[in-house]
Amino acid sequence: MLDFFLRPSHFFSLDAAARYRFFNQPLLHVPQVRAWSETPVLFACRLVCRPELVDRLLALAGGGGGLGRTNSLGWGPVHCVAASPLSGQALRDSATRLIRHLAGKGCGLMDRAAIDHGNTPAHLAAELDRVDILDHLAVLTGGDCLHRENHRGLTPIQLVVMKRRTCAQVFRYLRDLKLT
């Protein structure tokens, strides 16, 4: 897996953000992949790589590393994208493009994680204050992901409120999505 990413022809096909992570944190990702028991596809999703690279990894993995697999937290590909610690507009655009691509391939946008309190990708985005991802997931699911409860009985909107957003901000956000 690591050799695949470090070959120059494959390495430079990654997004600039993924290359930045490899240059500035060269060994931090190796134990995480092992500890989280991620497939190469899930690892690429967590790095928010380009959809073309995810497709190449899917082709290389065959049936064994498909989009239906989860890591040790129960996260699928969309969970991994939603939980990425991103910053910068280009990276946010890459994340929304990858989520749209994964949704087109049939990945569940509202799947609950088996282990991580039953969180959906929208729950993860809300907990990490990733309003851009939450917004994109809400648009793709017609707002249904905002009302799905996790195992603790919390919706993503309740998590946003718990992150000290005021009710006025939440209602303004919902009004902008035309869901209220």
Residue ranges of domains in the chain: 2-177
Q: What is the pLDDT of residue 134?
A: 86
Q: What percent of the chain has pLDDT over 90?
A: 5
- Name residue, tokens 């939980």: 83
- Chunked into runs of 10 residues, the chain (180 residues) has average pLDDT values of 47 52 42 60 86 85 70 86 77 88 86 80 86 87 88 87 68 65
Of the candidates 90, 3, 98, the residue with the CA atom closest to the CA atom of residue 49: 98
Q: What is the pLDDT of residue 101?
A: 92
What would the two tokens of residue 72 be? 């040790």
Measured between alpha carbons, how far is 132 from 117 in angstroms, rounded to an integer? 22
The structure's pTM equals 0.69
Q: What is the pLDDT of residue 99?
A: 92
The domain made up of 2-177 is a member of CATH 1.25.40.20: yes
Write the DSSP symbol of residue 105: T
